[in-house]
Structure 1
Amino acid sequence: MDRLARRLQAATGERLVQDEPAALVSEAITPWVAHDALRLFGMNPVTGAVSYGFLHGFSPQLLQAQLFDSYLGDDPFSPADIARLPASVGLLGGRGRCAPGHLHALDTLAAHGAGSEARLLLRDGQGLWGLLALLRVEGGRPFDRADADRLTEIAPLLIALLRTYAAGNCTAGDSSADGGPLPTGVVIVGPDHRVRSLTPEARAWMRHIDPARGRAPQWMPDASMLEISLAARRHALDPGAPRPVSCSPAAYLGRRVAVHAQPLGERGEGDIAVIFQEAAGTLLLPTYAAWHGLTSRERQILRHLYSGAAPKNIARALGLSVHTVNAHVKAVFRKTGVSGRDELLAVLDGPGPPAPAPEVPAPPSPTTPPSL
């Protein structure tokens, strides 16, 4: 356990691209819980939407099949289902009778050469951070409760890895500097979850996140478009489902990318408008605060700092002493790793101020998404 902790902690300082985080995590945890394939997804702690992810030996085709199962209600261990379990671990496969939902999920695994799966929901008292899924090939020993217990023990280490990865800022030389901020772009996705049309601005976004640039995983564009489309349709039918609003960290795509989707028809039918824009400024504040572990009071301070308020004005607005406000300001700077307000604002604003949105017919206010 100590060796595993040291390896994962060391990884937080490494510059990882494409699916390298999944390969590293797989290598680190194999002595702890043996497996043949792995996927690790990070979630937006504010909305619960998947925002970035990595695969190691995990078929992208299986991933897409499981996305359909999860959003269509044919998977017994969606994140919402696992959240209701005492240990936050769902096991597929093994001996004993299976409920109908388990049988369908096992058929999906078998169609892609897998025999069992263990899924660990990565959550703590501060939020929902992601999901780890491990596979074993068909014919191998299925995962059992002992494996589930061991996975639960390493959950804090994986949460720390995801949080550190998400909180990382772009540094000099990153592709975020290429051309400055990108204007908001809109992609129209049809009922078959395939792209029907793109605005010119969206084409610029597609070029930026193209895996050929060497940062995003090869499977990411297709899987991400499918997931956001499915999430938008599911949310239209069930407002209690996670909002289709994701925020990819700078380490994933070279800049923080906000993606949200809205159905153009009633009840999620018809086309979906998928909006890409810079995750910056007030749009980013809630997610940025969560990534850095700010307390509720520190989040208030962060909002006032971003608005340009002086400490004495913040103190008056919150009914605090200036001394207390200054202590909170120092805590915000320390947790976010900045030296002062100017650096904080530069980090929050990203490569430049958010660009104006193009005119898009049909979607209701697509460029004014809920806060991330």
Structure 2
Amino acid sequence: MRAEWEAVRDGIPTAAAGNLAVEELGALFSRQVGRLIPHDGYMLTGLDPVSGAGCFYAKEHGYSAATAHRVGVGELLGVDPFLLDAAPGGLCVIDAAGGPLGGPPPDPAVGDRQTALREVMAAEGVGVEMTIVLADGGRVWGTLIVVRERGRRSFSAEERRRAERLRRVLAAGVRRFVADRPLRPSSHAAPPGVFVVGADGAVLRATPSAGDWLAQLLPHATRTPGEHRGAAWHLAALSHHRATETVCRVPTPSGFVELRAQPLSGGAVAEVAVTAQPASGRVLLSAAGAWHGLTRREVMVLEQALEGMPAKQIARRLALSVHTVRQHLDVVYRKTGVNSREELSAALLRGGW
């Protein structure tokens, strides 16, 4: 089993860096995790490192679109869509039959939400689910939910220990998946799309180009009836809950799409307007530090460089030596996979600054 664990540990981050599609990443995670924790289905969600909104999603034999909406947005689970507060050690196991959980719930409200989720699981034919919170470096990068069908055994104590050990490995895989693709805005040529999302996740109104943008946000393998809205409803619900504008950067084959959600005023309470367009350079830069492991100082130098400042002026503004500025830029180029300031500027600024 040690050799199997080492193969999974070493294989996930490496394979995730192969310019995969979202559904291919999900299949990779499921296949590798399945070597240590057998399961019948999975749901993988990647989170935006700045806003915490879901930025990509893949599944196989997971919950239906309607159930995923109820669970994810919080009609049943309140304001904690991923049950993170019920996941001691980054893990939460829920048995539809009411069996042992992966640790006692920290408060009665969590227990109530787990009871509600059990009812949903039973209706979906799921016997047990395990949520693995993909966290590393003090940041949550996503969640992987693995499920077993009704009638199968629950996850054992040993399988739960294996899942806890996999958290950082899977988090590294999510980071590599995003960081390995070019840091550039989407090249999709449609005009910005605007759509209004209601409380149930349905698109109520939309501009003509909105549907085209929605089709960019989910891989073909998961684009089933009713599920096309999935890329937008979590962001909309998050924006409504926070009562403020919320931004998400979505990696797609054509580059990064910027989703910007704003609660509407003067209308229905839960309606949120979402704008989809190529991500601007500034929006990408705010997340690039997390994805590519840039330090705060490296991000500051890069921001000045993208505004067209020469190294000497950057040095004066940031109270650094010119040599240090150039060193920081060289590190940024290496981490982001480019060869020069011109190359990085051309990519990042294609969608505007």
TM normalised by structure 1 equals 0.81
Q: Quick one: structure 1 residues 327 and 50, their matched pair in 2 at CA, closer, same or farther if it must change by over 3 Å?
A: same
**Letter of the aligned partner of 2:250 in structure 1?**
S
Q: Which residue of 2 aligns with 1:358?
A: none
1:189 and 1:229 in contact (8 A); partners too:
yes
Mark the runs of 5 or more structure 2 residues left unpaired by the alignment. 106-110
Q: Which residue of 2 aligns with 1:217?
A: 222
Task: State how 1:1-372 maps to structure 2 within 5 Å.
Answer: 1-17=5-21, 19-61=23-65, 64-72=66-74, 74-75=76-77, 78=80, 81-82=83-84, 85-93=87-95, 95-96=99-100, 99-125=111-137, 127-170=139-182, 177=187, 179=189, 182-206=190-214, 208-209=216-217, 214=220, 217-219=222-224, 221-236=228-243, 244-249=246-251, 252-265=252-265, 269-350=269-350, 352-353=351-352
Q: After superposition, give the CA deviation of every residue in 1:172-222 in whole Å (9 maximum; x if it has no partner).
A: xx995564xx432211233443222222342442455575xx5x7314522
SS in 2 for 1:115: strand
Q: After superposition, give the CA deviation of every residue in 1:4-43 in whole Å (9 maximum; x if it has no partner).
A: 1343234224343352221121111112111111111111
Q: Percent identity?
A: 30
Measured after TM superposition, the shift of residue 272 of structure 1 is 1.9
**Letter of the aligned partner of 1:235 in structure 2?**
R
Q: Which residue of 2 aligns with 1:361?
A: none
Measured after TM superposition, the shift of residue 286 of structure 1 is 0.8
Measured after TM superposition, the shift of residue 88 of structure 1 is 0.9
Measured after TM superposition, the shift of residue 86 of structure 1 is 4.1
Q: Quick one: structure 1 residues 146 and 127, their matched pair in 2 at CA, closer, same or farther if it must change by over 3 Å?
A: same
Measured after TM superposition, the shift of residue 48 of structure 1 is 0.7
SS in 1 for 2:93: strand
Measured after TM superposition, the shift of residue 80 of structure 1 is 6.6
1:333 and 1:340 in contact (8 A); partners too:
yes
Q: Which moved more, 1:287-296 or 1:125-134?
A: 125-134
C-alpha root-mean-square deviation of aligned residues, in Å? 2.9
Measured after TM superposition, the shift of residue 234 of structure 1 is 2.1
Q: Quick one: structure 1 residues 120 and 77, their matched pair in 2 at CA, closer, same or farther if it must change by over 3 Å?
A: farther
1:120 and 1:133 in contact (8 A); partners too:
yes
Counterparts of 1:121 and 1:266, CA distance in 2 = 37
Q: Which moved more, 1:145-154 or 1:132-141?
A: 145-154
SS in 2 for 1:59: coil
Q: Which moved more, 1:34-43 or 1:143-152?
A: 143-152
Q: Quick one: structure 1 residues 268 and 178, their matched pair in 2 at CA, closer, same or farther if it must change by over 3 Å?
A: closer
2:16 and 2:25 in contact (8 A); partners too:
no
Q: Quick one: structure 1 residues 246 and 292, their matched pair in 2 at CA, closer, same or farther if it must change by over 3 Å?
A: same
Mark the runs of 5 or more structure 1 residues left unpaired by the alignment. 355-372
Q: Quick one: structure 1 residues 106 and 258, their matched pair in 2 at CA, closer, same or farther if it must change by over 3 Å?
A: same
Q: Quick one: structure 1 residues 178 and 46, their matched pair in 2 at CA, closer, same or farther if it must change by over 3 Å?
A: closer
Measured after TM superposition, the shift of residue 322 of structure 1 is 1.4
Counterparts of 1:133 and 1:76, CA distance in 2 = 18
Counterparts of 1:103 and 1:282, CA distance in 2 = 43
Counterparts of 2:321 and 2:268, CA distance in 1 = 49
Q: Which moved more, 1:280-289 or 1:139-148?
A: 139-148
**Letter of the aligned partner of 2:191 in structure 1?**
P
Q: Quick one: structure 1 residues 15 and 303, their matched pair in 2 at CA, closer, same or farther if it must change by over 3 Å?
A: closer
Measured after TM superposition, the shift of residue 229 of structure 1 is 3.0
Q: What count of residue pairs does the alignment treat as equivalent?
A: 337
Q: After superposition, give the CA deviation of every residue in 1:59-104 in whole Å (9 maximum; x if it has no partner).
A: 333xx42442343363389467425744111111162598322211
Measured after TM superposition, the shift of residue 344 of structure 1 is 0.8
SS in 2 for 1:150: helix
2:86 and 2:92 in contact (8 A); partners too:
no
